[in-house]
Structure 1
């Protein structure tokens, strides 16, 4: 990954009531606010949180990243201008696509150090926020889900901070490969075993894949 990575947006937000289609309400932290600087702890960015603790948050999922390049595709496909951090991500970045980023990769992010742990599994909150029922399905089809990270070293992250690859995981199991296995080849035993060999994989994904193998 030789191209320089640029943070296009840095955002945090706490859970609040969000109104969506026809006056319905949900508790969610998907509507994050742009900020210039924030401290990143092992539990996530200060001032950031999740509403659904079962499916979001935790130290394996402290940071959510989404590739900026996908915005152009979705805006063209759905004929809309998407707001910053549409997908509830903390970091919207260039040159860190799912096909190029691997589980276990370690990055310097400002003063902090983060490690990729899993692909993000899109949920209905994205559908509710955008009002596009097909978007979640399309994210899964393309594998353009974004991904999550744990924090190895706490520190301040700024909107103009650099992100640099410190260590490429030797197994080189890309986020895209895990997405294709998880969503499209749920019975591919060899692929699941290959993914499970990566010790740095998020615990939730490990449990899920092990359950599939047992079946």
Structure 2
């Protein structure tokens, strides 16, 4: 397991079909070591701080293994940073990454906090209106890390599993429950109560549970 590309970018305003939009989804690979902070990577930023960024979502990661699938589906190339991710990974997918897993990367320690849920800006980036929905429905979502210990990481750095998250709930499993088994109350409760789940996703799962109990 390793980080094959580190990608950063500050928000910028772009014209998309006559519509001005400020977004930080365009990320550029960096060549050398980069600082990993509690909020984000050095040189990185997000435009919509309500839905992106923050300590629970400091680093967006995406498995490079999915690029072939998207290339075949859409007939175009996908490369590092294509999904607005900070870390393009090799050897770690949603099937293997579990909520609460702690990984060492360079001198930093990071923890899996939630699946990635893309917004419409991913569709605008690629001019593919169905891409965000396809990412969710296929489970090829990527995921977020929170930073437990700040440090320095460089491209090619290995990801070393330090501690498996409680219950070994994979990101693939959480996606399955969230998008396809919305009425699985036991699973919803299990995920909602997980200590490593991000605040926003905890709220979403708790809301779904409360809706089930209403008369």
Give the TM-score normalised by the residue count of structure 1.
0.94
The reply to whether residue 7 of structure 1 matches residue 38 of structure 2 is: no
Task: Say whether 1:81 aligns with 2:98.
Answer: no
Question: C-alpha displacement at 1:18, in angstroms?
Answer: 2.5
Q: CA deviation at 1:170?
A: 3.2
What are the ranges of 5 or more consecutive residues in structure 1 without an aligned counterpart? none
Q: Which residue of 2 aligns with 1:152?
A: 148
The one-character-per-residue Cα deviations of 1:124-161 (angstroms, maximum 9, x if unpaired) are: 11100001112112111111110001101100010021
Match of 1:38 in 2: 34
2:147 is the counterpart of 1:163: no
8 A Cα contact 2:14 2:22, kept in partner: yes
**Runs of 4+ residues over 3 Å off in structure 1:** none
Match of 1:25 in 2: 20
The whole-number CA distance in structure 2 between the counterparts of 1:110 and 1:79 is: 35
Q: Which runs of 5+ in 2 are unaligned?
A: none
Aligned to 1:58: 54
Q: How does 1:127-146 map to 2 (within 5 A)?
A: 127-146=123-142
Deviations 1:81-117 (A, max 9, x none): 1243011100000111101110000000111000000
Q: How many correspondences in the alignment? A: 210
Give 1:115's match in structure 2, choosing from 111, 114, 119. Answer: 111
**TM-score for both structures, normalised by structure 2:** 0.94
Q: 1:93 is matched with which residue?
A: 89
C-alpha separation between the residues in 2 aligned to 1:135 and 1:79? 13
The offset of 1:188, in angstroms, is 1.6
CA-atom RMSD in angstroms: 1.1
Aligned to 1:174: 170
